[in-house]
Structure 1
């Protein structure tokens, strides 16, 4: 695996090509096992934090998935592309939407306590519970999971 060069601007798109983007990833890939991510992606969500560096061309639809975050997708083909903190500062971009999804090392797993028992990822990495994640990002008194 050849990892993305630090500070590199990478390109990607949705399945149909109506939405294209460039972004500067801040590190490697993260897996989210929360129920919302599993339901919206059809499996575990694999994404990379691109902070506020995302530049998008084409129409995106937005789904308000919680009081503190939203998800964006292509309204034409339905490709799930971005998960964003409404307060800004964090945009998680689907690894699979990048032109080279193999460019990212596997850094962490979140909502590990919501992961179904029928799969596991090998390797040693930080694994955070839902409560640990929400303590870092969710405003107080916000509903859990996103």
Structure 2
């Protein structure tokens, strides 16, 4: 789903729930699943966030931040669905889709 949304892997900063935006009238929401929604700019279409509905946890694309010093690329999700045409050199914690759903998705 993330590759369809952005054309490649989605690199994000995990921002918990304490997030505020200016210009909220310009933010559109797309209900991407039962447990998450995606925010985008109504003016230019830029991706703004992926948010888990259950706990309001935000994941914001790293490219939106002016200062990325000190950020650490430490985990990958849906590693079992990663295409063979790219591979990151960083040593990271890798989670399968099932592991992600077990960690973040609400119980059914």
* TM-score, scaled to structure 1: 0.69
Cα displacement (A) at 1:43: 0.7
Deviation sequence 1:22-58 (CA, Å, 0-9, x none): xxxxxxxxxxxxxx11110111000011111211011
**Number of aligned residue pairs:** 106
Structure 2, unaligned runs of 5 or more: none
Mapped to 2, the partners of 1:119 and 1:47 lie a distance apart of 17
Mapped to 1, the partners of 2:14 and 2:38 lie a distance apart of 14
Deviation sequence 1:73-108 (CA, Å, 0-9, x none): 101111101010111241101101111245411110
Structure with higher RCO (Cα < 8 A, 6+ apart): 1
Which residue number corresponds to residue 103 of structure 2? 136
Structure 1, unaligned runs of 5 or more: 1-35, 142-146
Which one of the candidate residues 96, 107, 114 is aligned to 2:63? 96
Mapped to 1, the partners of 2:90 and 2:7 lie a distance apart of 23
RMSD (Å) for aligned C-alpha atoms: 1.2
* TM-score, scaled to structure 2: 0.92
Mapped to 1, the partners of 2:70 and 2:64 lie a distance apart of 12
Q: Which runs of 4+ in 1 moved over 4 A?
A: none
Q: Find out whether 1:124 has 2:91 as its counterpart.
A: yes
Mapped to 2, the partners of 1:51 and 1:44 lie a distance apart of 20
